[in-house]
Amino acid sequence: FIQYTTPLAILVFYIFLIKKQKKYYLNIFLLLSIISTTFLISATTASRGLIFILFLQFISGYIFYKDLIPRSKKIRFIFISIILLYAFSIYTSSVTVSRFGVQGQYESLVYYFGHSMLVFNNGLTDLIKNFGNGAFFFDWYLNFFGFEPFNVAKSGANVGTQFYTFVGALYFDFGPFYTFVLALLIPVIFTKITRKKHISLADLYLLFMYLNHLLLGVLVIGRGYAFPWTMTILIYYFLKFKK
At residue 236, the pLDDT reads 94
Average pLDDT of the chain is 86
Give percent above pLDDT 90 in the chain. 29
Length of the chain counted residue by residue: 243
Average pLDDT over residues 111-116: 82
Cα–Cα distance, 192 to 172 (Å, whole number) = 28
Average pLDDT over residues 113-118: 85
Among 48-57, 157-166, 171-180, the least confident range: 48-57
pLDDT at 150 over 80: yes
At residue 189, the pLDDT reads 87
pLDDT at 237 over 90: yes
At residue 104, the pLDDT reads 62
pLDDT at 230 over 90: yes
At residue 102, the pLDDT reads 61
H/E stretch holding 129 reads: none
Please report, for residues 44, 53, 226, the alpha-carbon distance to residue 175 in angstroms, rounded to integers and kept in the order given. Answer: 38, 28, 18
The predicted-structure confidence for 18-50, as pLDDT tens digits, reads as follows: 887 667 778 888 888 998 888 888 888 777 778
pLDDT at 89 over 70: yes
Q: Which of 127, 67, 114 is nearest to 219 (CA)?
A: 114
Average pLDDT over residues 137-141: 93
Cα–Cα distance, 151 to 174 (Å, whole number) = 15
Which one is predicted more confidently, 137 or 38? 137
Average pLDDT over residues 79-97: 79
pLDDT at 170 over 90: yes
Average pLDDT over residues 109-136: 87
- Non-local CB neighbours of 81 within 8 Å, separated by 6+ positions: 58
Give the max Cα distance, the chain.
Answer: 61
Please, are residues 153 and 236 in contact by the beta-carbon 8 Å criterion? no
At residue 109, the pLDDT reads 73
